[in-house]
Structure 1
């Protein structure tokens, strides 16, 4: 299974240019089975002043490009997220698109970020956990700040998740926290975790980058630095079952005492 994580800088105040840039990078991922983009890459997570004016419905220009791109390179695409508008509400929304251009799953960020952020004031939190059943395996979706909430990832495992896809706009100075949470969420759930983070500046905030692929043992098998890059790696999905059989920690849970 070939993975491509696109670590990308924001183009501020020119969404069309951002969409063209993302398309060019996706085309560089031809041959991958799965491609993932960062959080609110088309305008920038910190661009709260333009959330409403640049928001889109599901069939807007961002998703139209991504659906066509999935068909073009014949790969699953995790769209990263964008500000989606529906019935007068706005969401931090991401989709999983099939190689045929079908919309397989939608995840709306459950845990909105309110620390030095206006996300909680502008957007509506999602209210459902998302795990998509694909030919690659069962894929759970989460976004950035969600990494701090282990119960979300355990719920995805209970729904059968084998892979976690994380789109993010994680800022400095919390690099060590980012690295810790990526590894821990993979290790404690014995899943692969693939993240795509933003880099460079957006509204005077710098993102940490360091997108990564973590195996079910919590080992980072591929990682990026703090510059734009495309992280490409091949993984073996058999490692998931192997880890769970060799060290069956999930079977030791005493759920009846905790929930």
Structure 2
């Protein structure tokens, strides 16, 4: 399976140009089976004053563009996330699109970020875990701050996930935390993890970049620096089952802890 993670910088205050830029990047992933973009890349995560005015429904310009590209390229596309207007409430929403351009998974960010951020003031947290069955395995969706909550990733494993797709707008200076959490979430769940983080500046904040592809042993197979780039690599989808058979770490779980009010 060939994957491509697009580490993108927003064109400040110009959504149309950012959409064009993203489309060119997706088009350049000529042989990818799966393409993933960052969190709120179309306007920039830190553009809080634009959240409501630039919010979209699921048939809005961002999803329409990515759906057409998925169909054109015959690839799965994780849209990254965007601000969704859903019945008058606003969510940080990401979608997984099939090679036919159809929505196969919807995820609304559960853990909103409130540190030097207005996300918790403007958006509604999601309540549903999202795992999609595909020809390449079961793909679970998460967004940025979610990485700090291992219970979400275990919930995805319990729904059959063998690969995590994480879109993000992780800022400086927390590079070490970003790198560590990408690897640990893959390692402890014996899953692949593919992340697409933002690059560049938005609203005066610098994003940390360092998008990566991590294998079920916690090894980084491919990764970026802090500049715009596309991380490309090929993964063996059988490696998850092999890792779990070789070292049955997940088999040692104690189910009563899932219900423990400790």
| 3-state SS, counterpart of residue 133 of structure 1 | strand
2:198 matched to 1:191?
Answer: no
2:220 matched to 1:220?
Answer: yes
| Matched positions, count | 259
1:56 match: 56
Deviates more, 1:8-17 or 1:180-189: 8-17
CA deviation vs aligned residue, 1:14-40 (integer Å, no higher than 9, x gap): 111111110000000021000000000
Pairwise CA RMSD of aligned residues? 0.6
1:200 match: 200
| Aligned counterparts of 1:209 and 1:61: Cα–Cα separation in 2 | 25
1:101 match: 101
1:75 match: 75
CA deviation vs aligned residue, 1:201-230 (integer Å, no higher than 9, x gap): 000100000000000000001010011000
CA deviation vs aligned residue, 1:29-72 (integer Å, no higher than 9, x gap): 02100000000000000000100111111101001000000011
2:140 match: 140
Per-residue deviation, 1:257? 3.6
Per-residue deviation, 1:258? 4.1
| 3-state SS, counterpart of residue 170 of structure 2 | coil
| Aligned counterparts of 2:90 and 2:136: Cα–Cα separation in 1 | 31
| Aligned counterparts of 1:128 and 1:167: Cα–Cα separation in 2 | 17
Per-residue deviation, 1:13? 1.2
| Aligned counterparts of 1:168 and 1:246: Cα–Cα separation in 2 | 31
| Aligned counterparts of 2:117 and 2:204: Cα–Cα separation in 1 | 12
1:177 match: 177
| Aligned counterparts of 1:150 and 1:40: Cα–Cα separation in 2 | 22
Deviates more, 1:227-236 or 1:248-257: 248-257
Where structure 2 has 5 or more consecutive residues not aligned to the other structure, the ranges are none
| 3-state SS, counterpart of residue 124 of structure 1 | coil
2:16 match: 16
1:120 match: 120
1:232 match: 232
| Aligned counterparts of 1:254 and 1:72: Cα–Cα separation in 2 | 45
**CA separation of 1:204 and 1:101: change in aligned 2, threshold 3 A:** same
| Aligned counterparts of 1:241 and 1:133: Cα–Cα separation in 2 | 16
TM-score, length-normalised on structure 2? 0.98
| Aligned counterparts of 2:257 and 2:42: Cα–Cα separation in 1 | 44
